Amino acid sequence: MDWNELKYLLAVSRAGQAGRAADELSVSHATVSRKIAELEKKLGVNLVDRSGLSWTVTPIGQRIAKQVEMMENCVRETESIAKEHSDDSAGTVHISAPNILITELLAGALNGFSKQYPNINLAITSLDSFADLRAREADIALRFTDMPDANLVGVKIRRFTWSYYANGQVQNIIKLSLGSNPDALPKVPLLTSSPDDGFPSWARGIFHPESTLNHVYGYREKAFLAAEGLGVALLPDMIGLAVPGISVVTPYVSERSTQLWILSNDDAKTSSRIRTVKKFLINKLVENDGNAKD
């Protein structure tokens, strides 16, 4: 089946009118009408119910249109892959990373990149959720995980530890709450990201379930609010130790730690610009411990 015939049905399905479909395809109304009629004759089914300006795609037409849309996506994906793996090393590389990594690590690691590779553009997206590399939502992802997707190519960067942090005032409240009972759950304000999160999982069994919850998005933002006495925050130590006015809450020790990876699709190895950006980041970020492998 010729794609040039099927695209008219897809355009009508999306536009709902022959005129709008014609505008989208840069052809005349008569051309759209004739192409749909020819396709109906070839397939032997009624694809569109025509009523004045409004055209309604029939149920069988809708099913076929969905298949045509899948064909369109395949064509675009094919073009994207071909462009990505062309010999031309110039172009855009999409990087996805949590906001904390962009501000604390990625920005510094990319220092000097544009000067060294002026023909490569970087598109950096801050996502707390995982970008789907297989769906081409990003070319490279910096990700906290101890078990990356087996279909991805990854390099371990380093392990990050996390601790509970608060200022001296809040820590004194904790000491008073404990009193002579080290097993008591202190009732102190806690810093969480969103009211929708409810009582944070990291505080269960550590702090009293009726503790006041104050909300702010962002780890650095939590650190500065903790310094002002608004509560206890669970922070990566690379931030908590660097912000004045807060310290690790004792006697509690968080056992939480996460591994940072640089990930990409396996077929990205053949893309010169993606490979260039990935190696640049690896050289800047990987600890010199001899364990990182490409």
Q: Is residue 293 part of a domain?
A: no
Q: Is residue 134 part of a domain?
A: yes
Into how many domains does the chain fold?
3
- Cα separation of 120 and 74, whole Å? 26
Q: The domain containing residue 112 runs over which residues?
A: 91-158+258-285
Q: Encode pLDDT of 172-222 as tens digits.
A: 988 888 777 767 899 999 999 888 878 998 999 999 999 999 999 888 899
CA atoms within 13 A on the CB side of 214: 18
Q: Encode pLDDT of 55-89 as tens digits.
A: 888 999 889 988 888 888 887 777 766 665 555 57
* CA dihedral of 280, 286, 291, 294, whole degrees rounded to 10: -20
Q: Is residue 240 part of a domain?
A: yes
* Residue ending a domain, choose from 84, 101, 131: 84
Considering the domain architecture, whether residues 167 and 152 belong to the same structural domain is answered as no
What is the length of the chain? 294
Considering the domain architecture, whether residues 108 and 240 belong to the same structural domain is answered as no
Strand partners, 125: 96
Q: Which DSSP string do the residues of 246-271 spell out, in sequence order?
A: -EE-SS-----EEEEEEEEEGGGGG-
Peptide bond into 251 cis (omega under 30): yes
Which CATH number goes with the domain that contains 46? 1.10.10.10
Considering the domain architecture, whether residues 48 and 97 belong to the same structural domain is answered as no
Q: Is residue 290 part of a domain?
A: no
Q: Encode pLDDT of 156-169 as tens digits.
A: 888 889 999 999 99
Q: Which DSSP string do the residues of 160-213 spell out, in sequence order?
A: EEEEEEE-HHHHHHHHHHHTT-TT------EEES-GGG-S-GGGTTTS-TT--E
Which CATH number goes with the domain that contains 240? 3.40.190.290
pLDDT for 289 equals 41
- C-alpha dist (Å) from residue 47 to 9, 44, 72, 127: 8, 9, 19, 42
Which CATH number goes with the domain that contains 120? 3.40.190.10
Considering the domain architecture, whether residues 17 and 105 belong to the same structural domain is answered as no
Considering the domain architecture, whether residues 15 and 65 belong to the same structural domain is answered as yes
Closest CA to 160 of 292, 260, 253, 242: 260
Q: Encode pLDDT of 89-118 as tens digits.
A: 788 899 988 877 888 888 888 988 999 999
pLDDT at 269 over 80: no
Considering the domain architecture, whether residues 252 and 262 belong to the same structural domain is answered as no
